[in-house]
Amino acid sequence: MMTFTQIHDAKLMVRAGICNAVSVGRPGDAGDKGDLAFIPFVPDAYAVPAFIWKKSQIMPQANRIFIDAISAKIKNS
């Protein structure tokens, strides 16, 4: 299993026959030669992001500020 930060790298590996690729969302068509197929998941696949941490964990102030900011954003949306 491999991970890519840029879909262009994954396309090169697929074209070389080294691997198959799974992408979240449709990979852009920029520079596409039309030789690759995009097959969407049916039914649609989706992910629910989550932040998880130990309640009793002592954490740096920066972590606490980040968690408080995210919590406030979630409550206001």
pLDDT tens-digit readout, 49-70:
788 888 888 899 999 899 999 9
Q: Which residues contact 53 (CB under 8 A, 6 or more apart)?
A: 59, 63, 67
- Count CA within 13 A, CB hemisphere, residue 22: 6
Q: pTM value?
A: 0.44
Contact 20, 14 (CB under 8 A): yes
Angle at 56 between CA 72 and CA 69, to 5 degrees: 15
Q: Is the pLDDT of residue 39 over 60?
A: yes
